[in-house]
Structure 1
Amino acid sequence: MSWISAAAALALLGTKPQTLYANVSRGRIAAKPDPADPRRRLYREEDVARLAARQRGRRPARLVAAESISWGEPVLETAISSIADGRLLYRGQDAIELAGHATLGAVARLLWSAPGEIDFAGRARALVPGMAAAYRAIAELAATDLPAAGRNRAVLLGDAARSVSYLASALAAPGSAPVHERLARLWGRPDAADPIRRALVLLAEHELNASTFAARVTASTGAPLSAAILAGLAALSGPLHGNASQSMAGLVQSATTTGARQAVSVHLRQAGSLPCFGHRLYRDGDVRAAALLGSFAMPALFAQLAAEGEEASGEKPNIDFALTAMSAAFDLPNDAPLQLFALARSVGWIAHALEQIETGALIRPRARYVGIS
């Protein structure tokens, strides 16, 4: 792997420095400090050459737009979060540092740009707490709440806090304590409270992922904020998103009977990849996973899977692996990763819904017909 200077990269690209820096921030070009001069940076020549070749043969805009739907260019501008150079930032603040001390309520205040404390106090108790209760609670809100369009921000912030409170009440024990303490109490695992808090902070926001896009599209119609959360919940439930941790069940079971190395080897031969390893937005590993895994003693089996999986695949465990390992470490409910994802990400969904409402624009892409003429 070879690295080149900024001048050499710009010569190959034929662009301005700002374009080079933008490509780095979007993860298209890897960069690192120059060992000879830490004030300068070096750029991966392979990435630069690939982009230069692409620019020489630009494709029609319709093809570029179609490809951008899948892990492509950002299609919406946002001031909420960014993922660049291996860092996840919430309005410019490092999410990993926030996970060291913040609560979900504090992160909501940051992401929503709210002027005061956010109260997620829950006074209702679900007969059977869990995801089914969460869907029912939010669906009832969405069916009765007023549309968001035309209402001032202060009122919307009240709706936002109430919506997340309903979600928390459906998943956690009632009370005025922070939601991570209420979840730990409900699950009978008080020693898991701090890792749960960290997980909620790390999961609160992650740029324009599938569920956030669904929530943002819903908000663009003027629908209630609770409807945006409901749309996010629906998208989150898929095995390629919030339920990705469930895909580890087979690997864990196999490792229990045959050992981690054999299980990883067999899974790679059969599936071609390992579940819950690697993330396309983090070249050097999912920073959220490292932050969460460092907050508790990983079970021996998961530590072995992490080591064997990275050696065999070249990819590090991602946040879904970390959530599964945490659930095993504290004997949490099987769907605890999804519950944590849903509660935490509802804060990010609302941040994007509020931002979209402020634009006053409807998100309405066009389709390109390719069927029978």
Structure 2
Amino acid sequence: MPWLTAEEALQALKTKPQTLYANVSRGRIRAKPDPADPRRSLYQAADVQRLAERHAGRRKSESVAAEAIRWGDPVLSSAISTIIDGRLFYRGRDAADFAEAATLEQTAALLWNGAEVLSSKTEAGRAAPSLQAAFVALAGRVTLDLPSLGRSQAALRHEAQSVLSTVADALAPGPSDQALHLRLATSWQRPDAADCLRRALVLLADHELNASTFAARVTASAGAALSAAVLSGLATLTGPLHGAAWQGVDALIETVCAVGAEQAIRRTLAQGNRLSAFGHPLYPDGDVRALALLSHFPLPPQFSNLRDAGEAVVGEKVNVDFALAAMAAAFDLPREAPIILFSLARSAGWLAHAMEQIDSGELIRPRARYAGPAPDMRSSA
């Protein structure tokens, strides 16, 4: 597998070093340390060539189709959310503005295009928020709940409320008359974090056709129960390139504390690792969700140093994964708080997309572009 030096990659891309680093941090270009000089990096030639051809407008039609499913053009119609000019909208409403006062329950009602207020059977004194409990509870419902096909939207909304309650019982245990962000703040014994938790839940509720939402829609398109769609989304969310990206931020912060921010960034890039704290392909001018969160709590010094150094070296602003990790540190929340928040919030979005997909009546079934050995077309007789 051929590798290029930074100079060769920059020449092929006809771009600045910051853009090269940004493409590495986004996972678009693979990198590894140079065996001859570990302080330098080498870049995968095929990735560089693909981006160079894309920028030059020389992609073939099949390449365009293949890339549409990877940060490409829209592949499904949806009326739930969209990102336009660096702004996130929920059914036409600016999500950052909506997060100023809304709760997750109100956000679910908006995304579901009409819903009852969430209620839960959980009583005070239940165990702490648990992602494992959410998986177990959803898996227990999958074989018991009815398939989603052939049922009215009103019936599906009623079941969506029940599924969201199941998730909430596991991830935000507490009395049913209390808002979910307050239940989380109480469970974690951090009442001063309640407003930031509320904002985070609203801002994370939906994000168009991200990986976990697409997985949920595929499951729903087959007619599976709503609980199965949410379970699919939850499983996908746990990946380190998605909802678990905050772990990469935490690891980077540990390195910052050991060697300093700039050295931590340079070491990470030289090792060919992604900088999960920076950049987002849909927000070239900065992740609006991060901006909406970071202005509401004091940034811990190590996070502030990382942000300043990273934005200078990489040329990208911090993203929502950085903001969630910083918020957890600022309020001394449990280490798994970011994934708990992400899972609880995004469950509302998965349910909205599942119901929309069911209403479309379409099965999501892409074709594969075969790249294996030439088939033997001779008769087997």
The reply to whether TM is greater than 0.5 is yes
- Contact persistence 1:120–1:164 (CA under 8 A): no
1:333 is aligned with what amino acid? P
* Aligned twin of 1:194: 195
Percent identity over the alignment is: 54
Distance 1:252 1:203 in 2: 23
Deviation at 1:249, TM superposition (A): 2.4
1:285 is aligned with what amino acid? G
Aligned length in residues: 320
Deviation at 1:325, TM superposition (A): 0.2
Q: Residues 29-72 of structure 1, C-alpha deviation per residue, up to 9 Å, x if partnerless?
A: xxxxxxxxxxxxxxxxxxxxx99963xx6623x33221212111
* Aligned twin of 1:152: 152
Does the C-alpha gap of structure 1 residues 126 and 232 become closer, same or farther in structure 2, counting only changes over 3 Å? farther
Does the C-alpha gap of structure 1 residues 360 and 273 become closer, same or farther in structure 2, counting only changes over 3 Å? closer
Deviation at 1:83, TM superposition (A): 0.4
Deviation at 1:311, TM superposition (A): 1.1
Deviation at 1:251, TM superposition (A): 1.4
**Residue 317 of structure 1 pairs with residue 318 of structure 2:** yes
Partner SS for 2:372 = coil
* Aligned twin of 1:22: none
1:167 is aligned with what amino acid? V
**Residue 137 of structure 1 pairs with residue 137 of structure 2:** yes
* Aligned twin of 1:39: none
* Aligned twin of 2:118: 119
| Structure 1 residues 1-373: aligned runs within 5 Å | 54=57, 59-60=60-61, 62-114=62-114, 116-123=115-122, 127=127, 129-175=129-175, 176-271=177-272, 273-372=274-373, 373=375
Q: Residues 162-191 of structure 1, C-alpha deviation per residue, up to 9 Å, x if partnerless?
A: 111111110122212110000010001011
Deviation at 1:304, TM superposition (A): 1.2
Distance 1:198 1:105 in 2: 12
Distance 1:352 1:252 in 2: 35
- Contact persistence 2:128–2:173 (CA under 8 A): no
- Contact persistence 2:216–2:230 (CA under 8 A): yes
Does the C-alpha gap of structure 1 residues 369 and 267 become closer, same or farther in structure 2, counting only changes over 3 Å? closer
1:223 is aligned with what amino acid? A
Does the C-alpha gap of structure 1 residues 74 and 325 become closer, same or farther in structure 2, counting only changes over 3 Å? same
Q: Residues 306-334 of structure 1, C-alpha deviation per residue, up to 9 Å, x if partnerless?
A: 11111111111100000000000111111
- Contact persistence 1:239–1:247 (CA under 8 A): yes
1:213 is aligned with what amino acid? F
Does the C-alpha gap of structure 1 residues 120 and 315 become closer, same or farther in structure 2, counting only changes over 3 Å? farther
- Contact persistence 2:269–2:275 (CA under 8 A): yes
- Contact persistence 2:325–2:338 (CA under 8 A): yes
Partner SS for 1:320 = helix
Segments of structure 2 that go 5 or more residues without pairing to the other structure are 1-52, 376-381
Q: Residues 99-149 of structure 1, C-alpha deviation per residue, up to 9 Å, x if partnerless?
A: 1110001111111001x5421434257545311001001111112111111
The two structures have a TM-score, normalised by structure 1, of 0.82
Partner SS for 1:303 = helix
Distance 1:350 1:287 in 2: 23
Distance 2:59 2:247 in 1: 40
Distance 2:56 2:311 in 1: 32
Does the C-alpha gap of structure 1 residues 234 and 121 become closer, same or farther in structure 2, counting only changes over 3 Å? same
Distance 1:262 1:371 in 2: 43
